[in-house]
Structure 1
Amino acid sequence: NSSILGDLNFEIVVNFGSLIAVLLIYWKDMIKLINNFFKYLKTKNSEYKSDYIYCWLIVLGCIPVGIAGFLLKDYIENVLNKSTIIIGISFIITAVFLFIVRKVRGTKEDKDISWKDALFIGMIQIIALIPGISRSGTTLIAALHRDIKRSPALKYSFMLYIPISLGTMILGVKDMMETPNMNSYILPYTLGFIASFIVSYYTLRWFKGVVQKGRLAYFSIYCLILGILVILFL
């Protein structure tokens, strides 16, 4: 059903599938961060301080894109989302920048990420509001530019995704519940969620391996091919 594919509710359901995939891949990191955040609040033990600060750096990194997304929501949905040329070019731009940083290694670990790093990555993440610009690719490029090592850069990138995705979903649930004839959408929404979860899970595992092994050129080629296909056939 073409009306389903253009439905904002469907996008929210698909986004939820991706969110569950990210949580499944990074669940150990999430539990550790949350536990140590509250342990530091309670004990002020320096052992937990780095994770406490890291949690606040996630919040800081989400603020710029949260504000921009709120202000530009209608423009993105009504103008940019309707241009396949913009989407295709955006994929190609992502490919170019990924190729440029493909050999960057970085020196900073999780504990070395500063508020300036978080703010810079958060500001750059605004670019990913443009349809076709890879959010994970953009934040990864920004983190590598700030001299963060590949694995910590990727982890921070996906830590930023979790609260942003949760916020988007929570804001959309109310509208979804008010959708007329909601029962008729349950099957396509469920299938969309399952497909999104499976594709996201295996894509993220592949992407994680690509980043850790320093093979960003592969993801760059993937984005390039995707961009060309979008421009030619959509």
Structure 2
Amino acid sequence: MEDLILLIKHLIIGLVQGVTEPIPVSSSGHVMIASEILGLGEQGFTFAILTNTASLLAVLFMYREDVMRLATNSLRYIRTKNRKYAADFRFVILIIIGSIPAGVLGVLLSDVIAENVSMTIIAIMLFVTGTALWIIRNMRGKKGDADLTAKDAFLVGLGQAVALTPGISRSGATIISAIAVGMKQDTALRFSFMLYIPVSLGGVVLGFSDFIHEPNKAALALPYTVTFIATLFMTYFALKWFMGIMKHGKLIYFTYYCFIVGTLLLIFY
């Protein structure tokens, strides 16, 4: 019976991670909240790698055509210098530039951030996320892929770096930053998740050794598998749903959600 309850709890955590990863409400914060409610305690680095990998695979599948085109045309441009491939090569360079802030700060400050997280901090950061979403709710940029600059990419990358703090949504911070620098809704969404791929992949690579040497992985193999599958599928469907939300410019709903959850955390924790 206890094993079944443990599986159900890990299923719920996987669903929470999957649903909240693509949308601007902070997946890390919600996983911490769900773990506290379910009595699972703080989830370790191995668990974070597991769920991150599942979400990464879902995002890669969703954007597989973009990823393949960008990778193939960038290699073609490097080999041939043919101008018809230059736009995709330039977009990849912008993704690299945008990935630098989170990559650097993630390496330097990950331990500090992990040691200074509480439900109060998550609540405050949810208010910050909700406020930022409120500010940009009516902004409609005009910049498409071809109009982006290195400065735009770096500023959006700074937003991603800020989102290393639980309670600050990664997708929210990058989309807010992208819209703030003048990107169109669809460009902001695509650039946000293109930025997610290298940073997430880097985290998986850097944490792979910890995952392999996890002392309890045999005992947790089944619960972790359940979590992985739940996260994988829910990230995919949540991202499809969020694309529709972005298309209709309804980010204001997430402002209300962040304020409600933040208030409940302050009241009960």
TM-score class normalised by the smaller sequence: over 0.9
Against the structure 1 CA distance between its residues 221 and 48, is the aligned structure 2 distance closer, same or farther, given a 3 Å change threshold?
Answer: same
1:208 matched to 2:243? The reply is: yes
Q: Secondary structure at the match of 1:95?
A: helix
Q: Secondary structure at the match of 2:73?
A: helix
CA deviation string 1:152-196 (max 9, x = no partner)? 011000000001111111111111111224211211111111121
1:176 matched to 2:211? The reply is: yes
1:166 matched to 2:201? The reply is: yes
Q: Tell me which amino acid in the other structure corresponds to 1:24.
A: F
Q: 1:52 aligns with which of 89, 109, 123?
A: 89
* TM-score computed with the length of structure 1 as normaliser: 0.94
CA contact (8 A) 1:4 1:10 kept: no
Q: CA RMSD in A?
A: 1.5
CA deviation string 1:172-225 (max 9, x = no partner)? 111111122421121111111112122222221222111111111122222222
Against the structure 1 CA distance between its residues 199 and 58, is the aligned structure 2 distance closer, same or farther, given a 3 Å change threshold?
Answer: same
Measured after TM superposition, the shift of residue 4 of structure 1 is 7.4
What's 1:16 paired with? 53
1:147 matched to 2:187? The reply is: no
Q: 1:112 aligns with which of 135, 147, 151?
A: 147
CA contact (8 A) 1:207 1:219 kept: no
CA contact (8 A) 1:84 1:230 kept: yes
Q: In structure 2, what is the Cα distance between the partners aligned to 1:9 and 1:3?
A: 14
What's 1:35 paired with? 72
Q: Which moved more, 1:122-131 or 1:103-112?
A: 122-131
Q: Tell me which amino acid in the other structure corresponds to 1:104.
A: M
CA contact (8 A) 1:210 1:219 kept: no
Q: In structure 2, what is the Cα distance between the partners aligned to 1:23 and 1:228?
A: 34
Q: Tell me which amino acid in the other structure corresponds to 1:190.
A: T
Q: 1:157 aligns with which of 181, 192, 195?
A: 192
Q: In structure 1, what is the Cα distance between the partners aligned to 2:217 and 2:135?
A: 46
Measured after TM superposition, the shift of residue 3 of structure 1 is 5.8
1:77 matched to 2:114? The reply is: yes
Q: Tell me which amino acid in the other structure corresponds to 1:158.
A: F
Q: Secondary structure at the match of 1:184?
A: coil
Q: In structure 2, what is the Cα distance between the partners aligned to 1:108 and 1:189?
A: 41
* TM-score computed with the length of structure 2 as normaliser: 0.82
Q: Secondary structure at the match of 1:129?
A: coil
Against the structure 1 CA distance between its residues 94 and 65, is the aligned structure 2 distance closer, same or farther, given a 3 Å change threshold?
Answer: same
Q: Tell me which amino acid in the other structure corresponds to 1:18.
A: S
Q: 1:91 aligns with which of 114, 122, 126?
A: 126
Q: In structure 2, what is the Cα distance between the partners aligned to 1:67 and 1:135?
A: 16
CA contact (8 A) 1:18 1:197 kept: yes
Q: In structure 1, what is the Cα distance between the partners aligned to 2:42 and 2:226?
A: 12
Q: Tell me which amino acid in the other structure corresponds to 1:131.
A: P
Q: Secondary structure at the match of 2:163?
A: helix
What's 2:222 paired with? 187
Identity %: 43
* Runs of 5+ consecutive residues of structure 2 not aligned to the other structure: 1-5, 7-38
Against the structure 1 CA distance between its residues 233 and 23, is the aligned structure 2 distance closer, same or farther, given a 3 Å change threshold?
Answer: farther
CA deviation string 1:126-147 (max 9, x = no partner)? 2111111001110111111111
What's 2:169 paired with? 134
* Runs of 5+ consecutive residues of structure 1 not aligned to the other structure: none
Q: In structure 2, what is the Cα distance between the partners aligned to 1:68 and 1:22?
A: 23
